[in-house]
Amino acid sequence: MKKREIHESAESFIGDLAEFPLKVTPQVIKQNLLNMREMGGEQFGLTKGAETAALAQIPIQPASVEDYRNIVGDKETQQLEKLAKPLNGLRLLQLSSTAFSPRVTDAIGVASALMNYLGLQCSWQVIRPVEEFNQVNRLMYRALEGYPVQWHKAIGDTWLKYNDMYARFFRQKYDIVIVHDHAGLAILSAMTNYNRGKRHLGKWIWSCHRELSIAPPDIWSLLYPHIRYYDAAIFDKESQVRGELKSIYTGVITPAIDPLNPRNAELSRKSIEGVLFQRGIDLGRPIISQVYPLDKAADPLGVIEIYHLVKERIPQVQLILVAPPRSDDMDTRDYFRQLAHQAASDNDLHLLSTPEEVGNVEINAIQQASQVVVQRSVGNGFGLTVADAMWSSRPVVGGRAGGMPLLIIDDETGFLVDDNHQAAERITYLLANPQIANKMGRKARQHIRQSFLITRYVRDYLKLFQFMLSMRE
């Protein structure tokens, strides 16, 4: 089956049920679901509590689709209810390697809560951390972000060993399992091997948030045989998909933000003033900001150069760099020292990195206080902090890397730039023309409402589930 995109601009694939590649009705979906369960029998039953040695159950906080009705409108909420109706009672497992990233909380926690509200039975489990396994995963993450790593066969053997161990604890019955990223990717293949080549029943989806297109050959040759066991592989953007993945269904579901998260709530001017005053930032002067984890890929030194170029024309401008250190990366200390040195010698350059300085409310206040938000990332991440800023009605000046070309409509919701001098010119233009900046900001918020909110993300997955269940085992 050929690859098709699965997002807002590709309604021809997951639009109405009548447009599916197979002839599908809600009755077909329900019958296939029943058949799949009957085939499974009780062979995958799990002794109560047995899996807790390797997999931790994460509580899913309740959420209601009704809470989003005033934001996305009646049509969107009604469509969610319609799509979920034939999936009522579907047993879904989301399996990840962490529960603490804000983006994971939205993509798994909030999405699962909304699916539960709509009648699905969603669970969320996290692979219990083991330091040896964590080190291997960190190394793989870095490699898939484009960084050079020292790789050897023993590292891959360790990854396989732990996937094999986790597979032995996985015996519960689900209709659909979504495995996020590479940490637990080989669990399905290990389970199949244990079952003498008979694959675990149900539909299995691999959700990849990393750039497979730049995977080093050693790592790709490790991952690829295990990806082929899945029924589908879903990616954040088209560039992540490799042509070798022809034996399974591939699609794109772009990430999204939760407009009800404190990171995106509307703040009063008094609240914004309080956050900025505590950090010595003058709300009465122009502010530009970048929010991104401390990483060379975010090019914060490049952002400082942009700020200096803007300051030559607008001396009163201030720069806020929100750069929380990565919890899994100890190699950023020297880089942080370079940034801190520059911030210490410039009263208008504010570097915020501690947890007290960069919580959800603080990040929200900084972006709402900014006249322009910059995202000079040269990495491959999607860049949802930009979506947060756009939801706050702020124009964004960003590079052409990662998800920026999807998020930013050039010359309409912000500007896409190729170098620091061009970025400085665009920022100076917006600061000098606040009416144009405000108009772009309003369009930016509308763009996020239409294409990058959590309700659209849930809608795309509900359509995917219907499509997956329309195919017989």
pLDDT number for residue 35: 54
pLDDT at 4 over 50: no
Structural domain contains residue 173: yes
Of 322, 335, 433, 326, nearest to 368 by C-alpha is 322
Q: How many residues can be counted in the chain?
A: 473
Structural domain contains residue 411: yes
pLDDT at 137 over 60: yes
Do 27 and 84 reside in the same domain of the chain?
Answer: yes
pLDDT number for residue 380: 65
Structural domains of the chain, count:
2
Do 403 and 460 reside in the same domain of the chain?
Answer: no
CATH number at residue 301: 3.40.50.2000
pLDDT number for residue 340: 85
Do 104 and 220 reside in the same domain of the chain?
Answer: yes
Residue with more model confidence, 209 or 285? 285
**Residues 343-363: b if buried by 16+ CB within 10 A, e if exposed:** beeeebbbbbbeeebbeebbb
Segment among 159-168, 197-206, 251-260, 458-467 with least mean pLDDT:
197-206
pLDDT number for residue 18: 32
Q: Domain of 215?
A: 11-256+453-469
Of 408, 414, 401, nearest to 370 by C-alpha is 414
| Sequence-distant contacts of 14-22: CB under 8 A, at least 24 apart | 14/460, 14/463, 14/464, 14/466, 14/467, 15/463, 17/466, 20/466, 20/467, 20/470, 21/467, 22/470, 22/471
pLDDT number for residue 12: 29
404-414 tens-digit pLDDT: 999 999 999 99
Do 162 and 278 reside in the same domain of the chain?
Answer: no
Do 304 and 438 reside in the same domain of the chain?
Answer: yes
pLDDT at 330 over 80: no
Structural domain contains residue 125: yes
pLDDT number for residue 188: 95
Structural domain contains residue 2: no
pLDDT at 234 over 90: yes
Do 147 and 175 reside in the same domain of the chain?
Answer: yes
pLDDT band at 328, cuts 50/70/90? low
**432 SS3 class:** helix
Q: What average pLDDT does the segment 189-210 reach?
A: 85
Structural domain contains residue 181: yes
Do 25 and 113 reside in the same domain of the chain?
Answer: yes
Do 40 and 120 reside in the same domain of the chain?
Answer: yes
Do 204 and 329 reside in the same domain of the chain?
Answer: no
CA distance 160 to 350: 44
pLDDT at 6 over 60: no
**360 SS3 class:** helix
pLDDT band at 43, cuts 50/70/90? very low
CA distance 203 to 354: 42
286-305 tens-digit pLDDT: 999 999 887 777 788 999 99
Side chain identity at residue 183, one-letter code? A
Structural domain contains residue 6: no
Do 159 and 69 reside in the same domain of the chain?
Answer: yes
Segment among 52-66, 106-120, 327-341, 456-470 with least mean pLDDT:
327-341
Question: Residue 227 in contact with residue 206, Cβ under 8 Å?
Answer: yes
pLDDT at 107 over 90: no
pLDDT number for residue 30: 55
Do 156 and 96 reside in the same domain of the chain?
Answer: yes
Structural domain contains residue 4: no
Q: What average pLDDT does the segment 170-195 reach?
A: 90
pLDDT band at 26, cuts 50/70/90? low
Do 196 and 290 reside in the same domain of the chain?
Answer: no
Question: Residue 408 in contact with residue 396, Cβ under 8 Å?
Answer: yes
432-450 tens-digit pLDDT: 999 999 999 999 999 999 9
Structural domain contains residue 462: yes
Which of the listed ranges 30-44, 284-298, 306-320 does the model predict with the highest average pLDDT?
306-320
Q: Cα–chain-centroid distance for residue 106?
A: 8
